[in-house]
């Protein structure tokens, strides 16, 4: 292998001139664009990471708010059940007390009516007894007449009761 030193130096000088021209006009703007692109990508990654963290934080807040809302709804439902149960018990108690009161009044009314009927019956029995006794005294009756009179008396008493 034989090296031509004259061509070698010309190629080396041409390479150095080309390198200087490229670094002044091409590499500077190219590296600048690459740096801008790198910075843009870095900023986008940071923005995405920040957005992701914010989204996770918002998601956690939403989960907590949803859990709190569910708890409040459960508490409201339990309170409504308790209130409804208490109201039902109160209504049943009031209805029972009213029924007992009406029953007691009805029993008192029945007792009063019974007493009135017994008093009326006693009064009628007394009057009938006096009437029978007066009729017996007025006329002497035999056994058959007496049975007829008692039967008549029982029919009257039975019809008035």
Q: What is the mean pLDDT of residues 126-152?
A: 69
pLDDT of residue 132: 72
Place of tokens 């590296």: 31
Does the pLDDT value for residue 125 go beyond 80?
Answer: no
What are the pLDDT digits (tens) for 26-83? 888 888 899 999 999 999 999 999 999 999 999 999 999 999 999 999 999 999 999 9
pLDDT greater than 80 at residue 19: yes
**Beta carbons within 10 angstroms of residue 87's beta carbon:** 10
Count other C-beta atoms under 10 Å from residue 81's C-beta. Answer: 10
The pTM for the full model equals 0.43
Tokens standing for residue 29: 């703007």
């Amino acid at each position: 292998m034989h090296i031509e030193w004259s061509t070698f130096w010309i190629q080396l000088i041409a390479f150095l001139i080309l390198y200087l021209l490229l670094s002044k006009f091409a590499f500077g703007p190219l590296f600048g664009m690459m740096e801008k692109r790198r910075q843009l990508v870095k900023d986008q990654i940071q923005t995405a990471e920040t957005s992701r963290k914010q989204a996770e934080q918002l998601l956690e807040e939403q989960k907590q708010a949803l859990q709190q809302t569910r708890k409040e709804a459960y508490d409201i439902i339990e309170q409504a059940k308790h209130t409804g149960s208490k109201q039902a018990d109160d209504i049943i108690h009031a209805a029972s007390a009213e029924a007992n009161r009406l029953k007691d009044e009805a029993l008192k009314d029945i007792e009063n009516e019974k007493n009135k009927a017994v008093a009326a019956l006693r009064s009628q029995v007394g009057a009938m007894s006096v009437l029978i006794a007066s009729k017996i005294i007025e006329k002497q009756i035999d056994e058959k007449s007496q049975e007829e009179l008692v039967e008549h008396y029982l029919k009257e008493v039975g019809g008035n009761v």
